[in-house]
Structure 1
C-alpha cells in the first residue's frame, strides 16, 4: 500500500509538472502573438569589424587571462598585449569577459574562448589537455608556481556555431556563454547556477557543452548578462529574462514548483525599451521616454532605490529610478553590489556598495546625507545616483564584481575599486583605489582604446595605435584635465 501510495504521488507530481510546462508554453505562445501585432521600434545593429590589439590584466589562476599555460601568466599587474591573439593574424573585433572566462570575436566572424571550463562555457572540448599533476610532497605555496591547464589557458575556437549569419554581440555570465546573430537569433552554451548548485541550461539539459539555438526566440537586438541570468531586448521593445531568479533579477516571481520554467526566456511587462543592462543580481532597462527601470537585489542600494537597504533587500518588480529621470541615461551596468550609469553627454553616475571603493568617490567627497552607515558608523553604501566629478567625458563604462572601468572619448581608460586582484591595472597597490585613476603603461600609452570589459578578477581592453602627434596632443589634454 505504501509503495502504491508513493507511485500515485509521483504520478500526480509528474502530471502537475507537465501541466505547468504546458501552461508555460501556451503563455509563451500568447506573448509572441501579442508581440507580433506591435510595431518595430528597435533595429538589429550591423556588425562593426575593426581588428584591434587585445590587452588583458588581473588574476588568472583559473586560466582567465588566456596567455597560455606558463605559471608566470597567473598574475598580470598592468595591461599586457596578448601575443596569442595578434591583430594581423587573428584580429579581435569584440570581446566579453565572464566570471572566469572570456569570449572574443575575430575579423572572420569566429569566436575564441578561454578560461575555466567546468560548466562547458568555452564551447569546445578541453578534456584532451595534458593534466598537470601536483607533487604530493609540495607545500601549498608551490602550487602558485604550477603551470595552468593548456587547453583552457590558451585561446581556442568555439565549436558548432552556425557558419551563416554575422555575430553582432557576445555575452558571458559566470557559467554560461551566448552570441547574438544579425538574424536576431541567439545561440548559447554552459549552464545556470543558483543558491543550491547547478540549476541547468534548460528543462532537459543540465550542462550544454556546445552552442545550441534558443528555440522560438527571434528578432533579438541586444543581450545583457548577469552572474547567472540573461536579459534580451527584441525589435518590438519587449524585454525577456531567463536563468536564476532567486533575487528577483528576472522581473517576475519564481516559485519552487515552477522554477524550471525560469530557464526559458519570458517577458514580464516591460515595453517600449531601447536598452537593457545588468549587474550580477540586479537588472535595468531604459525606455524611449528616458525612464530607467531597475529590479533585483538591492541590499547595498545598487538598484538606486534608497528604501529598505538591508541584507537580502529586493526590488521585486521593475521600478523607476527617479534620480536618473532627467539625466538622459544611455547605458547602465553593474557589478555585484554597485552600478554605473552613463549619460549621452558623457557623465557617469554611480551608486551602491562603498567598502571596496567600487563607486569611485573618495571618502572626503562622499555626500554623507545620502549615504547609509553600518553599526560601527562606517559608510556602507551610497544608494542615491551621484555624479562622478573626477572624470573627463566618457563613452563607455564596465563593472566587475568590485572594480570599475571608464573609457574616455579620447581612448584612455580610468580604473577604480578593489585592487588586490590587479583588475584595476595599476600595478602593485597597498590600498583599494578610491577614485578614477588613469591607466598608463608602456603597452597601452600609445593606443586609442575602443573597448573595455571587466571580468571576475580581471579586465580587458582593445584598441589601435595612434600616430605620434595624436599621442602628444592627447597627453597634453589629459594632463591639463588631471591638473585641474
Structure 2
C-alpha cells in the first residue's frame, strides 16, 4: 500500500520488487472474450452471487491522514487520529454507508441508495470524480472556518471530504467494492465489473489499459462477465466468476498474476486473463502476492515470497517468488474460509474462527510475541534476529474471529461479538491504540469510547490508516455480557 515513513530509526521499510520475464503476446480482447465465454459454458456454476449488506453502519477512521485518507474534512488537525473516530459526513440520513473498501491512500464507500462515495489522495484519478474544482460538490462541514489558515497546512477540501463517484450505472445494484493503491473497482449485481484509475509497477505508471494511461471516470471492463468476487493487491486485481475461474490483471512483475510477464509484452498484463486456476471458491490478495481456496478446501498462493508471506517455505530471500499457484500444505485440513495479506505478511481464518499467521516479523506484523514464537520454524538474519515466520502458525491470543484485514505492516481482526483487535506497526496510529513507544507484538483490543458499544461488522486497512464500521448496540444487557466474555478471555490469555 502507501509507503510508510517511520518517525524513529528503522530499517527495511522498502519493498523489494523483482522484475521477471513473462508471456507471449495475447490475442485481441474480443477473441479472448469469445474463447473464455465458450469455455465457461462447459462448466457448471459453483459460486453464488454476493449478498450485499443493507443495514446502515456507523463508520470510524483512525491513523495518519496526511494524504486525505481519513475523510474528515480539510482541517489540518484531522491529519492524525490516534483512536477510532466517527466520520460525521457518513452518518447523515442521505449518506448511510453499508459497505466500504480501503486502498493504499483512498477509500470507497457504498451507501444504502447505491451511491459510491470516495475520499483520499486523487493523484491517479482513483476517486472517480473531479477534485480540483471550486464549488460545493462534496459534503462540506458547515461549521468549518473558511478563514482558518493553520500553519500546519489544511488538506485539499475535495479529496479530504467524501464525495460521490460520477458515471457509474444507476439501474444496477453495486454488490462489492475493491481498491488498490492506484485503482478503484466495483462489482455489479449482474456480474459486470467497472473500474477507474491506473496501475503502477517498479518503473512508474504502467497504465489502465493498452490504450489508456489513466482512466479518470468509471468504465466497464468488457472482457469480464458473471463475476462474483473482486479483490485488490497493491497494483493488481483478481476476479472470480460463478464457474470458479480466476482472472488477474495489473502489475505482474512479482508473479502475482499467476503467469510470467515478458518485458516486450508488458502491456498485455493490463487485460484481465484467466490462467490455470479452476474450481475456485474464494480469492484473496496481499500487496504483491495472491491467494485462492479451491472447492475441496485447498489453499493456494503465488507471488512475492521473500518473507514467506505466501506460506511456502522455499527460497526465502530478497526477491524470492512463487511463480505459480502452489498449495500451502500447512493449511491443509484446517477448513480455511478466508485469507488475505499485507506487504510482507498474511492471515488466514478457519470456519471456526481460528487465525493463522505467517510472514515478516520485525514490525510485529504476525501478531505473536517474541518469546512465544515457534523458533524452529522461523528464519533469522545474520545477527540472529528473527526475520520471518514462513510456516502458518495459529495465533492463540485471539478469541474466535469472524474476519481479518491487513495493512502494509499492521493488522485488524473482528471477534464474533464485534470487538476489534489490532497489532503491528504503530508509528502511524493505524493500530488505533493511541500513543505508543513500540510496535504492537500481540493482538490488543481497541477499547475506546467511540466504538465501545458498537458491534463492528467491517474492517479495512490502508498503508497508514484504518477504517471500521458497525452497529450501535442498544441492549444494555447484551453490552455487559459481551464485555464480560471478552475480559474473561483476556485474563486467561
The TM-score by the shorter chain falls in which range? Answer: over 0.9
Give, in angstroms, the shift of residue 20 of structure 1. Answer: 3.8
**Of 376, 389, 396, the match for 2:396:** 389
The 2-side partners of 1:87 and 1:370 are apart by 50
Counterpart of 1:77 (choices 62, 74, 82) is 82
**What is the root-mean-square deviation in Å for CA atoms of aligned residues?**
1.4
Give aligned pairs, total: 455
Instruction: Give 2:179's aligned residue.
Output: 172
Q: Where does residue 112 of structure 1 map in the other structure?
A: 117
- From 276, 301, 308, the equivalent of 2:308 is 301
Equivalent pair of 1:301/1:381 in contact (CA under 8 Å): yes
- Which one has a larger percent helix, Structure 1 or Structure 2? 1
CA contact (8 A) 1:46 1:182 kept: no
Tell me whether 1:181 sits opposite 2:188 in the alignment.
Answer: yes
3-state SS, counterpart of residue 267 of structure 2: helix
8 Å Cα contact 2:425-2:431 kept in structure 1: yes
Matched with 1:265 is 272
Q: State the partner residue of 1:100.
A: 105
SS in 1 for 2:303: strand
Q: 1:434 to 1:143 in 2, by over 3 A?
A: farther
Match of 1:405 among 409, 412, 419: 412
1:469 matched to which residue of 2?
477
Instruction: Give the TM-score, by structure 2 length.
Output: 0.91
Give the Å deviation of 1:174: 0.1
Q: 2:465 aligns with which of 451, 458, 483?
A: 458
Q: Secondary structure at the match of 1:41?
A: coil
**What are the superposed Cα offsets for residues 173-208 of structure 1, whole Å, 9 maximum, x if unpaired?**
000001000100000000000000000000100000
Q: Distance in 2 between matches of 1:155 and 1:302?
A: 34
Distance in 2 (CA, whole Å) between partners of 1:321 and 1:94 is 30
Cα distance per residue 1:191-243 (max 9 Å; x no partner): 00000000000010000001000012110000010000000000100001000
Map Cα deviations across residues 318-365 of structure 1 (whole Å, 9 max, x no partner).
000000011000000000000000000000000000000000000000
Aligned to 1:4: none
- Distance, in Å, in 1 between the alignment partners of 2:335 and 2:150 is 50
Do structure 1's residue 479 and structure 2's residue 487 form an aligned pair?
Answer: yes
Decide which moves more: 142-151 or 298-307. Answer: 142-151
Partner of 1:135: none
Tell me which moved more, 358-367 or 470-479.
470-479
Distance 2:37 2:459 in 1: 35
TM-score (normalised: structure 1): 0.92
Contact 1:28 1:266 in 2 (8 A): no
Instruction: Please tell me whether residue 158 in structure 1 is matched to residue 191 in structure 2.
Output: no
Question: Does 1 or 2 have the higher relative contact order (CA < 8 Å, sep 6+)?
Answer: 2
Structure 2 residue 429 is the aligned partner of structure 1 residue 429: no
**How far apart are the structure 2 equivalents of 1:28 and 1:378?**
50
CA distance 1:357–1:178, shift in 2 (3 Å): same
User: Which of 11, 27, 30 does residue 35 from structure 2 map onto?
Assistant: 30
Q: Find the structure with the greater CA-based Rg.
A: 1
Instruction: State the partner residue of 1:449.
Output: 456
8 A Cα contact 2:76 2:150, kept in partner: no
Q: Which deviates further from its counterpart, 255-264 or 168-177?
A: 255-264
Report if aligned partners of 2:29, 2:223 keep a CA contact under 8 Å in 1.
Answer: no
Q: Which runs of 5+ in 2 are unaligned?
A: 1-23, 136-148
2:210 alignment partner, one of 199, 203, 218: 203
Q: For residues 356 and 315 of structure 2, what CA distance do their matches in structure 1 show?
A: 21
Equivalent pair of 1:51/1:87 in contact (CA under 8 Å): no
Cα distance in 1, alignment partners of residues 94 and 449 from structure 2: 22
Query: In the alignment, is residue 335 of structure 1 matched against residue 342 of structure 2?
Result: yes
How big is each residue's C-alpha offset from its partner over 1:414-439, in whole Å with a ceiling of 9 and x where there is no partner? 00000000000000000000000000
Q: Distance in 1 between matches of 2:457 and 2:134?
A: 34
2:323 aligned to 291, 316, 323, which one?
Answer: 316
CA distance in 2, matches of 1:218, 1:106: 24
Contact persistence 2:120–2:160 (CA under 8 A):
yes
Deviations 1:384-440 (A, max 9, x none): 000000000000100000000000000000000000000000000000000000001
Q: Alpha-carbon deviation of 1:31?
A: 2.8
Superposed CA offset, 1:22-60 (max 9, x none): 466534532331112111111112322110111000000
CA distance in 1, matches of 2:409, 2:48: 33
CA distance in 2 between counterparts of 1:354 and 1:144 reads 38
> In 2, distance between residues paired with 1:65 and 1:152?
10
Residue matched to 1:371 = 378
Equivalent residue for 1:251, pick from 239, 254, 258:
258
- Kept in 1, the 8 Å contact 2:33–2:223? The answer is no
Decide whether the 8 Å contact of 2:289 with 2:303 is kept in 1: yes
* Aligned match of 2:155: 148
